[in-house]
Chains A and B, each alone.
Chain A
Amino acid sequence: MQLDCDEVESRMAAWIDAELSPGEAELFAQHLERCPDCALMTRRMEAQVFPPIAVVDTAVPGFWDAMDEGLAMAGSSALRGTLRSAQDSPQPGGVAATAPGLLRRNLRLPGVAAFLYAALLVLAVGLAAVQSVRAANADAARLAMEQSLERQQRLSATASLDVSVEPVGLVAQGPFRGSL
């Protein structure tokens, strides 16, 4: 079995990048030995260099702050959708507990962690609210959910102050371990 020029040409990048299987690489090399045209083109391609492109330095402190904030805001509206669909079709089992006291904790997470944290709080409160709807009082539950959304928004708005904290560690120590 041999490779023809077209087959070799379509494998030149893979040959240079060492992405050919050993069998194909062998066939490729055999073709180059008997075909000067393909050998020359392979050498010209090999001579190509792709120097790194200079992009603004993402390691600058605070570089991602604006994105964290943007994600926090988007997260709260995405969550409203989640809550609405949860209300339409309540999941059996649901969430273990609401923990209103946690809302008063002094959170100092970077933005993303903060919004995810806040999102989880709202989800917990919201799903608990769904369960109370099933139990008895629909209006009170809806009110509770709206209030928790407001609290969550305030939380997101103020929680991205201290970026020096490692967010994952904080989440790991947080009170919501395994609660969902």
Chain B
Amino acid sequence: MSASLSLVAPQAPAQWTEDDIKALHREQPQAAMEMVVRKFRGRLFYHASCITKDSQEAYDVVQEVFIRAMRERRFYDAEFRQKAWLYRVTSNLCFNLVRNRKRRGAILETVPRKERDEGDQLDRVFRGEQREEILAAIDQMTDAHKEILLLRYYDDLSYAEIAAVLDVKLGTVMSRLSRARRRLVDVLEPIRAD
């Protein structure tokens, strides 16, 4: 019993389409899962880092995402949108994490200052004034606006891919992105005028 090896060889997981991976899964399920991990982990880590602003938390989130992918029975189904699913789960886990952290932050206000400083390393992965400015602006936005800006301008997803990630219509992607950028104009221009 020998399987076709035509799909197996590439050194660049990025070039593999979801259909390639699904085809590989029929022949070699273990290689398919590994391909998924290698293809997406860097991008998902970046996405998670942008939301959580903490590399360790982002790392843990991405690992959890892949564990969930391994347990998702539909993951290699013909109609299953792997990339959209992976980004959606990553976003959801990250936003939950950030919300919980904010809740914890409210409690931490009563904790002695020294302890708080040691625990607070949120921004250590980010550098550069301009970056901080735009990140600060994006941070002021709602989760929905923050997420769609990251997906488009940091993860480089197409509008169609974003629609799949957010499970909304293309028109909604257009209007939500426009509103988010309009909001950025409102937030950033007064800062730059100073």
Please give the residue numbers on chain A whose beta carbons come within 8 Å of chain B beta carbons, in ascending order.
Answer: 9-14, 16-17, 19, 41, 44-45, 48-56, 58, 64, 66-67, 70-71, 74-75, 78, 81, 96, 112-113, 116-117, 119-120, 166-169, 171-172, 176-180
Could you tell me if A51 and B45 are in contact, using CB atoms closer than 8 angstroms? no
| B128 to A: closest C-beta gap in Å | 7
Listed stretches B27-35, B75-83, B91-99; interface member: B27-35
Known contacts A14-B159, A74-B67, A172-B31; A67 and B185 CB within 8 A of each other: no
Could you tell me if A177 and B5 are in contact, using CB atoms closer than 8 angstroms? yes
Neighbour of B34 across the interface among A41, A50, A112, A180, CB < 8 A = A112
Complex-state Cα separation, A71 to B189, whole angstroms: 45
Question: In the complex, what residues of B have CB within 8 A of residue A11's CB?
Answer: 174-175, 178
Complex-state Cα separation, A117 to B28, whole angstroms: 10
Whether B84 is near chain A, meaning CB under 8 Å from some CB there, is no
Could you tell me if A64 and B9 are in contact, using CB atoms closer than 8 angstroms? no
Interface residues of B in 34-68 (CB under 8 A from A): 34-35, 37-38, 41-42, 45-46, 49-50, 55, 58-59, 62-63, 66-67
Neighbour of A169 across the interface among B9, B41, B59, CB < 8 A = B9
Could you tell me if A177 and B181 are in contact, using CB atoms closer than 8 angstroms? no
Could you tell me if B131 and A10 are in contact, using CB atoms closer than 8 angstroms? no
Whether B136 is near chain A, meaning CB under 8 Å from some CB there, is no
Question: In the complex, what residues of A have CB within 8 A of residue B45's CB?
Answer: 55, 58
Could you tell me if A17 and B9 are in contact, using CB atoms closer than 8 angstroms? no
Could you tell me if A12 and B182 are in contact, using CB atoms closer than 8 angstroms? yes
Q: Which among B55, B71, B149, B178 has the highest number of chain A CB atoms within 10 Å?
A: B178
Complex-state Cα separation, A112 to B158, whole angstroms: 30
Question: In the complex, what residues of B have CB within 8 A of residue A58's CB?
Answer: 41-42, 45-46
Known contacts A10-B178, A44-B189; A51 and B130 CB within 8 A of each other: yes
25 CB contacts below 8 A, A to B, read: A10-B178, A11-B175, A13-B174, A44-B189, A53-B49, A53-B50, A53-B126, A53-B135, A55-B46, A55-B49, A55-B55, A67-B59, A71-B37, A71-B66, A78-B67, A78-B71, A112-B38, A116-B29, A116-B31, A116-B34, A120-B29, A168-B31, A169-B8, A171-B8, A177-B27
Interface residues of B in 108-130 (CB under 8 A from A): 125-128, 130
Could you tell me if B134 and A50 are in contact, using CB atoms closer than 8 angstroms? yes
Could you tell me if A53 and B131 are in contact, using CB atoms closer than 8 angstroms? yes
Known contacts A17-B159, A48-B184, A113-B30; A172 and B5 CB within 8 A of each other: yes
